[in-house]
């Protein structure tokens, strides 16, 4: 069984050195010290490593089972979830007014990576709850908030997102679930599929957020409203009582995340499930997007977490298994796998990409903090535009890379990786869902090309690229890092050219959206490579300066090696996407 130790040193490097704890300088977080953040990370690492991680393999093997309307999660999950909720981890990023701890998103994201790495299937439960909290906090009435928020934030109750129906996946405009008004509430009927943690035995109540249509609703997106449907109806004192008319009719059999119950939920098989309108009628999709953006960021982090777990397992295996000999020049003795340069290359590729993805995801989280709490409106709006730009990249690029990194983890194990006993294959099977849910990566790419780049004339990305170019200048000015700077400049040049193509193609009257769609996924890959390379360029500058002080040499040497790999070997793979971006969309006719 593989163990997991949170990458605390690297997380601290990103928070303290790369981001210079910029969130802690916001007035909102004045009372939070860097020491306290370190203590929080250490404590989370303990729970993740000692309680959640040992259950990961077992959760995969045992899976969930449905018995008479109740879903039983794998043995140990109930206790592990309770330890998490009782430790106050569920609400670390939530509003203190409702019992949360109000920590910066950048800290919550660093901790999030640990849960996802330790046990991705279990971590999905609070991930979905966080989305429900966000949607309710922003759009719910005071009455709904006072009745449900505190218990969701404490983790006593959990939340779900009910969007998907058999005919409504990426295109939610065809949602059919109905909501009939009945006094102060509504009666819902319909079927939702693929609902993560839709039914389980870890909490006393489950609060479903459900997209449905009112009887006189318009066709398409504008006719969809958002409803809160509790599993157990809640009385005046806030206690769960009578069972609502919603039930789990089956569990999906899946490639991975076996410990996460993926449910088919039936609403209103009898008198209709009682639900309460959240926000305005007809604006359900917009309201749901509030929570989906936060969830997309977390799914990106999930990719990083599961890939980190695969990397750690690959390192351990490669250090233990002996195969072949070292070359004569290196002693000619029996060699562990990690002494062979091809294996070392694979491990470096996994580690370097992980560090780059982590840096980008936490940069985006720190922009979320600024978008909420920066002192001026201008600063907040500027930060929000960056969050909007980064979110599809963090979601799609991190999860695509996670699939590749976990696959490389299997390769390091050789045949032992392909058979289930080692557990290496679980990471790939688990990771494979992340590019699909929370908006497929294809949909993220369309969002990036259309809404995030074309719609603002490339202004936000242009501003970021000016900063990337400044970093490239700094690297180029340093004799030892000049090659990295040149490489980064080339990446910036390619991405600027890609933006120009997006702007021209987006206005193509003849082909319309097809012209953008044809280049969207290669564009996202190029953007992800350049943004990650930027962060690793900055990391190289910091590492170079730190090495001059002679402190923690091994860490900074490794960081320089990661940066060198990212900028000189990996970035050119992203740059090769320019050919696909330039290609005439007509080749797809
Ligand atoms: C394990 C699991 C857990 C899930 N959890 C939840 C949950 O908790 N709640 C929930 O509501 N849903 C959940 N889902 C559903 C998930 O969000 C959807 O599967 C996803 O949104 C894709 O929809 P789809 O499966 O219908 O695929 P489709 O929409 O049929 O897409 C198939 C392919 O076509 C592409 N495509 C579709 N439309 C377009 C377009 N307009 N332009 C370009 N390409 C397009 C997609 O990118 C994809 O590659 C879950 C799914 C799984 C498998």
CATH code at position 434: 1.20.140.10
Q: How far does the centroid of ligand 1 lie from the alpha carbon of residue 34, in Å?
A: 40
The tens digit of pLDDT for each residue in 313-361 reads 999 999 999 999 999 999 999 999 999 999 999 999 999 999 999 999 9
The tens digit of pLDDT for each residue in 194-203 reads 999 999 999 9
Q: How far does the centroid of ligand 1 lie from the alpha carbon of residue 164, in Å?
A: 8
For residue 405, being part of any structural domain is answered with: yes
Q: How far is CA 70 from CA 199, 249, 308, 379, in A?
A: 7, 10, 33, 49
Q: How far is CA 100 from CA 35, 62, 78, 298, 374, in A?
A: 20, 33, 22, 18, 20
- How far apart, in whole angstroms, are the C-alpha atoms of residue 324 and residue 340? 9
For residue 87, being part of any structural domain is answered with: no
pLDDT (mean) for 444-448: 97
Q: Which is the closest atom of ligand 1 to the Cα of 170?
A: 29
CA–CA–CA angle 567, 568, 573 (5° rounding): 90
The tens digit of pLDDT for each residue in 453-488 reads 999 999 999 999 999 999 999 999 999 999 999 999
Look at ligand 1, atom 30, and give the residue with the nearest C-alpha.
169
Q: Which is the closest atom of ligand 1 to the Cα of 192?
A: 11
> Which residues are registered as beta bridge partners of 243?
232
pLDDT band at 576 (very low <50, low <70, confident <90, very high): very high
pTM of the model: 0.97
Percent of the chain's residues with pLDDT above 90: 93
User: Which of 166, 437, 448, 521 to probe ligand 1 with, by most ligand atoms within 8 A of CB?
Assistant: 437
Q: How far does the centroid of ligand 1 lie from the alpha carbon of residue 166, in Å?
A: 10
Q: Report the largest interatomic distance among the alpha carbons of the chain, rounded to a whole angstrom.
A: 84
Look at ligand 1, atom 16, and give the residue with the nearest C-alpha.
437
CA–CA–CA angle 411, 568, 16 (5° rounding): 90
Look at ligand 1, atom 7, and give the residue with the nearest C-alpha.
195
pLDDT (mean) for 510-514: 81
Q: Which two structure tokens, joined as six digits, stand for 128?
A: 């979905």
List % helix, strand, coil for the chain (3-state, nearest 5).
65, 15, 25
Q: How far does the centroid of ligand 1 lie from the alpha carbon of residue 165, in Å?
A: 10
The tens digit of pLDDT for each residue in 234-271 reads 998 899 999 999 999 999 999 999 999 999 999 999 99
Q: How far does the centroid of ligand 1 lie from the alpha carbon of residue 437, in Å?
A: 6
For residue 264, being part of any structural domain is answered with: no
Q: Which residue has the higher pLDDT, 588 or 72?
A: 72
- Tally of structural domains, the chain: 1
Q: How far does the centroid of ligand 1 lie from the alpha carbon of residue 262, in Å?
A: 14
> Which residues are registered as beta bridge partners of 195?
263
For residue 85, being part of any structural domain is answered with: no
- What are the φ/ψ torsions at residue 282 (nearest 5 degrees)? 80, -5
- Nearest one of 125, 66, 361 to 257, comparing CA atoms: 125
Give 476-522 as a DSSP string.
Answer: HHSGGGHHHHHHHHHHHHHHHHHHHHHHHHHT-TTTTHHHHHHHHHH
For residue 92, being part of any structural domain is answered with: no
- Nearest one of 197, 190, 203, 424 to 309, comparing CA atoms: 424
What is the Cα 532 distance to its own chain's centre?
16
Res 512: pLDDT: 74
pLDDT (mean) for 506-533: 92
User: Which of 71, 436, 515, 516 to probe ligand 1 with, by most ligand atoms within 8 A of CB?
Assistant: 436
- Nearest one of 290, 311, 367, 309 to 109, comparing CA atoms: 367
Percent of the chain's residues with pLDDT above 70: 100
Res 511: pLDDT: 80
Mark 354-393 as b/e (b = at least 16 C-beta within 10 Å): bbbbbbbbbbbbbbbbbbbbbeeeeeeebbbbbbbbbbbb
pLDDT (mean) for 365-383: 98
Look at ligand 1, atom 37, and give the residue with the nearest C-alpha.
170
pLDDT band at 513 (very low <50, low <70, confident <90, very high): confident
For residue 252, being part of any structural domain is answered with: no
Catalytic residues: 438
pLDDT band at 587 (very low <50, low <70, confident <90, very high): confident
- How far apart, in whole angstroms, are the C-alpha atoms of residue 408 and residue 343? 10
Q: How far does the centroid of ligand 1 lie from the alpha carbon of residue 194, in Å?
A: 10
SS3 assignment, position 189 = strand
- How far apart, in whole angstroms, are the C-alpha atoms of residue 252 and residue 17? 44
Which H or E run includes 412?
A: helix 377-413
- Residue 73 is given by DSSP the state P
pLDDT (mean) for 46-75: 97
For residue 59, being part of any structural domain is answered with: no
- Please count the other Cβ atoms lying within 10 Å of the Cβ belonging to residue 500: 11
For residue 22, being part of any structural domain is answered with: no
User: Which of 160, 194, 206 to probe ligand 1 with, by most ligand atoms within 8 A of CB?
Assistant: 194
* Domain that includes residue 313, residue range: 287-588
Cβ atoms 298, 155 nearer than 8 A: no
Cβ atoms 518, 585 nearer than 8 A: yes
pLDDT (mean) for 144-169: 96
Look at ligand 1, atom 29, and give the residue with the nearest C-alpha.
170
Look at ligand 1, atom 32, and give the residue with the nearest C-alpha.
170
Look at ligand 1, atom 38, and give the residue with the nearest C-alpha.
170
Q: Is the dihedral of CA 293, 432, 447, 214 positive or negative?
A: negative
**Ligand 1 cavity residues, CB under 6 Å:** 161-164, 169-170, 194-196, 254, 262, 433, 436-437, 440, 442-443
User: Which of 168, 292, 400, 440 to probe ligand 1 with, by most ligand atoms within 8 A of CB?
Assistant: 440
pLDDT band at 571 (very low <50, low <70, confident <90, very high): very high
Res 1: pLDDT: 63
């Amino acid at each position: 069984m593989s163990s997991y130790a949170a990458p605390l040193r690297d997380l601290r490097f990103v928070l303290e050195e790369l981001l210079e704890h910029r969130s802690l300088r916001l007035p909102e977080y004045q009372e939070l010290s860097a020491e306290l953040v370190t203590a929080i990370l250490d404590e989370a690492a303990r729970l993740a490593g000692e309680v959640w991680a040992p259950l990961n393999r077992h959760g995969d093997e045992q899976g969930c089972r449905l018995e008479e309307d109740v879903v039983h999660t794998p043995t140990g999950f109930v206790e592990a979830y309770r330890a998490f909720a009782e430790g106050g981890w569920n609400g670390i990023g939530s509003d203190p007014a409702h019992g949360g701890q109000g920590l910066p998103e950048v800290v919550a994201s660093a901790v999030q990576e640990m849960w996802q790495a330790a046990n991705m299937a279990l971590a999905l439960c609070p991930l979905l709850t966080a989305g429900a909290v966000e949607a309710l906090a922003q759009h719910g009435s005071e009455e709904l908030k006072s009745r449900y928020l505190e218990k969701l934030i404490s983790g006593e109750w959990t939340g779900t997102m009910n969007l998907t129906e058999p005919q409504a996946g990426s295109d939610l405009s065809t949602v059919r679930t109905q909501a009939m008004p009945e006094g102060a509430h509504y009666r819902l009927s319909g079927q939702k599929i693929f609902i993560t943690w839709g039914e389980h035995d870890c909490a006393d109540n489950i609060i479903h957020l459900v997209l449905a249509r009112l009887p006189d609703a318009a066709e398409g997106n504008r006719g969809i409203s958002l409803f809160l449907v509790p599993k157990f109806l809640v009385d005046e004192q806030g206690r769960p009582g009578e069972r609502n008319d919603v039930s789990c009719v089956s569990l999906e059999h899946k490639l991975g995340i076996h410990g996460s119950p993926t449910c088919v939920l039936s609403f209103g098989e009898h008198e209709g499930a009682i639900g309460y309108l959240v926000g305005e009628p007809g604006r359900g999709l917009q309201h749901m997007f509030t929570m989906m953006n936060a969830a997309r960021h977390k799914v990106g982090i999930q990719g990083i977490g599961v890939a980190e777990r695969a990397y750690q397992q690959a390192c351990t295996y490669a250090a233990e298994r002996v195969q072949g000999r070292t070359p004569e020049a290196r002693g000619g003795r029996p060699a562990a796998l990690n002494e062979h340069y091809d294996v070392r290359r694979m491990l470096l590729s996994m580690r370097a990409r992980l560090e780059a993805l982590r840096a980008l995801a936490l940069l985006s989280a720190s922009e979320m903090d600024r978008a909420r709490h920066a002192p001026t409106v201008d600063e907040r709006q500027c930060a929000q535009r960056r969050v909007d730009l980064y979110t599809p990249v963090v979601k799609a690029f991190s999860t695509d890379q996670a699939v590749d990194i976990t696959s490389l983890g299997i390769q390091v194990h050789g045949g032992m990786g392909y058979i289930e006993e080692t557990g290496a294959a679980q990471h790939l099977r688990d990771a494979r869902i992340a590019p699909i849910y929370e908006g497929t990566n294809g949909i993220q790419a369309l969002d990036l090309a259309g809404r995030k780049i074309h719609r603002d004339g490339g202004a936000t990305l242009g501003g970021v690229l000016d900063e990337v170019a400044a970093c490239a200048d700094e690297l180029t000015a340093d004799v030892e890092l000049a090659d990295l700077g040149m490489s980064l400049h080339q990446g910036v040049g390619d991405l600027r050219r890609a933006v120009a193509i997006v702007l021209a193609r987006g206005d193509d009257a003849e082909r319309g959206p097809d012209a953008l769609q044809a280049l969207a996924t290669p564009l996202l890959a190029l953007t992800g490579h350049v943004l990650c390379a930027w962060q690793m360029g900055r990391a190289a500058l910091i590492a170079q300066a730190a090495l001059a002080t002679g402190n923690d040499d091994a860490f900074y040497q490794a960081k320089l090696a990661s940066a060198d790999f990212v900028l000189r070997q990996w970035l050119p793979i992203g740059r090769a996407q320019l050919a696909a971006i330039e290609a005439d969309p007509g080749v797809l006719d």
